[in-house]
Amino acid sequence: MNRPLTAIVADDHAIVREGLKLLISAMDNVSVVAEAADGEALLGHLRSTRADLLILDLGMPGVAGMQFIATIRILAPRLRIVVLTANIEPRTVRAALSAGANAYLTKDGDPEELGAAIEAVKNGGTYL
């Protein structure tokens, strides 16, 4: 049996974080080990927690877009990053993937997509 994936949920909206934690808790072999409401808290968790997966909202306070993803990549090169955002601009999707994101989901998508994205990145893939 594989070791469960550990995840950090980063979104500035508490209700969204709680919903994501509920969705993730229903998945096999994934558990949330930390959550963050802003970029500073997220960086603190990345320094102190060995997570496998990050669910990241690009619109949080203290998150300077794609440069923030590049910073995360330096701190945690093996971390799988799933961007979950309201931004649907194709150039933003391309920029996020170029900066190091492994998956890109929009917040208006089907909740089942989160599980599909996690499964894809867990196996080394990309998900759009």
For every residue of the chain, DSSP letters joined together read -PPPEEEEEE-S-HHHHHHHHHHHHTSTTEEEEEEESSHHHHHHHHHH---SEEEE-TTSTT--HHHHHHHHHHH-TT-EEEEEES---HHHHHHHHHHT-SEEEETTS-THHHHHHHHHHHTT--B-
What does the pLDDT look like over 114-128, one tens digit per residue? Answer: 999 999 999 999 999
Superfamily grouping for domain 5-122 = Response regulator (3.40.50.2300)
The whole-number average pLDDT for the span 14-29 is: 94
What does the pLDDT look like over 101-112, one tens digit per residue? Answer: 999 999 999 999
What does the pLDDT look like over 47-71, one tens digit per residue? Answer: 999 899 999 999 889 887 788 999 9
